[in-house]
Structure 1
Amino acid sequence: MSNLLAVFFLLLLGWFWLDTMRAREIATEICKTACRQRELQFLDQTVALRRLGLAWRSEGVRLRRVYRFDFSEEGVGRRSGYLVMRGMTLEDLSFGLPAQAQDA
């Protein structure tokens, strides 16, 4: 019985790792696209996981991940934004810029 439990745990760990890598790739692409649309420079070409939790919604329980990313306006300075993913879908994206700069 303990062997079966160990195999189940390893399978669960493998699923979690693959799911996390896939969510990170999607988050990175979303940030690249959003920065390109706003004419911002996406720094380091990556996102960093800041928070991981569970989100209960009407469609069920999903993993909720909060990523931080860095960007630059006009190549000067470094600013941080965040992206929230619920499962594999975008929940929120913020650059922390004034409203008129984000909408442009």
Structure 2
Amino acid sequence: MDTLVVLLVLGTMLFFWWDSAGARERAREVARDCCARVGVQFLDDSVELIRLRLRRNTQGRLCFQRRFRFEFSSTGEARFRGQVDMLGKTAEGIHMDPWPP
């Protein structure tokens, strides 16, 4: 019985790690594409997780809702922040701080 519990916990941890890696990669793609679309530079080619919680999707299933932060620059001198909201591996929205033209 103890072995079963340990395997269940390890399996859950592995699933969470795999799911988080996929969501992080998708958020990075969304942020990079958005920066390219508006003509700014996506900095550091990375996103960081700043919020994690459970929420229901449109089908009523529980999913992880994650908010990722990224940085971008319009001139290469100043850094500005943006956020990507993900529900599962689906981008729900993106927000970018205002920047000078």
Tell me, yes or no, whether TM beats 0.5: yes
CA distance in 1, matches of 2:24, 2:57: 21
Quote how far apart the aligned CAs of 1:17 are: 0.3
Matched, 1:67 2:68: yes
Moved over 2 A (4+): none
Query: Secondary structure, in 3 states, of the residue corresponding to 1:52?
Result: strand
Please identify which structure carries the higher strand content: 1
> How many residues are aligned here?
99
Q: Which has the higher contact order (CA 8 A, sep 6+)?
A: 2
Gaps of 5+ in 1: none
Residue 73 of structure 1: how far off its partner (Å): 1.0
Instruction: Name the counterpart of 1:18.
Output: 18
User: 1:58: how far off?
Assistant: 4.0
Q: Which amino acid aligns with 2:3?
A: N
How many Å separate the matches in 2 of 1:18 and 1:33?
23
Distance in 2 of aligned mates of 1:49 and 1:24: 8
**Structure 2 match to 1:35:** 35
Deviation (angstroms), 1:92: 1.2
RMSD: 1.4
The answer as to 2:84 corresponding to 1:83 is yes
* 1:92 counterpart = 2:93: yes
Instruction: State the TM-score, normalized to the length of structure 2.
Output: 0.92
